[in-house]
């Protein structure tokens, strides 16, 4: 068995955050650790390619999974729901066995920035409306914008799902505008526009907080930089 496919029992306990390797050796020596129901041995190596149930005093030990933080430029036609039997699902584009997921969704007809992670604490912070995290979009509609369009969007609308929060809107061209939201109601931008008599023909998310789509090519992933991860950690601690 290769070293990359196995790990010493004491090392497993240390990596899982239970204790130091030295303390783990003492726990093993005291016969307080079992592997798949059998008392663990000090020199025992665990195969990382098989199912393991390591327990300390009967309590299951969960190995720590390295944190994943990726940006993805979602194309139109990709469904953010993680459906194993749907070829259009984002799940088919994620590396297998990483247990990661998008923070929030873009509907199938929209494109742009997604944050992919396995960090549940961060996800909770970014999605909860009380934290006012901004998401920015560029939107094109099917006809010329009216003089009061931006003002109506900014002050909030009730299209049948309750009053939307005030937001920032900037007209970019005759039929295009940018919008910055601090909430994420289902298909919110499309429904706001429809309420005012417009149909969205293109919707691109460009920013999630300080994370920017930039020059990331459509359909591609990139890992966050150390600086970007540091800023996310600040969000978790807020």
CATH of the domain at 46: 3.10.290.10
Q: pTM for the whole thing?
A: 0.74
For residues 8 and 85, state if they share a domain: no
Q: What is the pLDDT of residue 1?
A: 34
Catalytic residue among 107, 148, 174, 226: 107
Q: Are 182 and 165 in contact (CB under 8 A)?
A: yes
What is the domain-level CATH number for residue 197? Answer: 3.30.2350.10
For residues 93 and 198, state if they share a domain: yes
For residues 147 and 37, state if they share a domain: no
3-state secondary structure of 113: strand
- pLDDT per residue as tens, the chain (238 positions): 334 457 889 888 877 778 778 888 999 999 999 999 999 998 898 876 567 899 999 999 877 677 889 999 999 999 998 888 999 999 999 876 567 889 888 999 999 999 998 877 788 778 776 777 899 999 999 999 999 999 999 999 999 989 999 999 999 999 999 999 998 889 999 999 999 999 999 999 999 999 999 999 999 999 999 999 888 888 766 6
For residues 35 and 77, state if they share a domain: no
Count of domains observed in the chain? 2
Q: Domain limits at 213?
A: 69-237
For residues 52 and 74, state if they share a domain: no
- Point out the domain boundary residue: 60, 89, 104: 60
For residues 173 and 150, state if they share a domain: yes
For residues 158 and 230, state if they share a domain: yes
Q: What is the pLDDT of residue 96?
A: 66
Distance of CA 160 to the CA centre of its chain: 28
The overall longest dimension of the chain from CA atoms, in Å, is: 77
For residues 103 and 47, state if they share a domain: no
Q: Are 135 and 170 in contact (CB under 8 A)?
A: no
238-to-150, 212, 227 alpha-carbon distances in Å: 32, 21, 17
- Point out the domain boundary residue: 43, 60, 77: 60
For residues 87 and 177, state if they share a domain: yes
For residues 40 and 93, state if they share a domain: no
Q: Is 107 a catalytic residue?
A: yes
For residues 13 and 119, state if they share a domain: no
Q: Which residues, including other chains, have CB under 8 Å from residue 12's CB and lie 6 or more apart?
A: 46, 54, 61, 63
The angle formed by the CA atoms of residues 105, 107 and 111, to the nearest 5 degrees, is 90
Q: What is the pLDDT of residue 238?
A: 63
For residues 42 and 112, state if they share a domain: no
């Amino acid at each position: 068995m290769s070293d990359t496919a196995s790990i010493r029992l004491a090392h497993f306990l240390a990596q899982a955050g239970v204790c130091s390797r030295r303390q783990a050796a003492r726990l093993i020596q005291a016969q307080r650790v079992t592997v798949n129901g059998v008392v663990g041995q000090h020199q025992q190596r665990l195969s990382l390619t098989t199912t393991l149930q390591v327990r300390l005093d009967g309590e299951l030990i969960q190995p720590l999974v390295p944190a994943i933080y990726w940006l993805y430029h979602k194309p139109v036609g990709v469904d953010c729901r993680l459906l194993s039997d749907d070829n259009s699902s984002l799940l088919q584009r994620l590396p297998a066995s990483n247990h990661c997921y998008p923070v929030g969704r873009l509907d199938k007809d929209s494109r742009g920035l997604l944050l992919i992670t396995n960090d549940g604490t961060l996800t909770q912070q970014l999605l909860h409306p009380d934290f006012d995290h901004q998401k920015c979009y560029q939107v094109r509609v099917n006809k010329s914008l009216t003089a009061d369009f931006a003002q109506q969007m900014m002050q909030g609308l009730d299209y049948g799902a309750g009053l939307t929060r005030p937001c920032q809107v900037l007209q970019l061209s005759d039929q295009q505008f940018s919008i910055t939201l601090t909430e994420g109601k289902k298909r919110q931008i499309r429904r706001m526009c429809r309420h005012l008599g417009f149909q969205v023909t293109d919707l691109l998310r460009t920013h999630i907080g300080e994370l920017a789509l930039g020059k990331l090519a459509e359909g591609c992933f990139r890992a966050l930089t150390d600086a970007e991860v540091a800023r996310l950690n600040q969000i978790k601690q807020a």
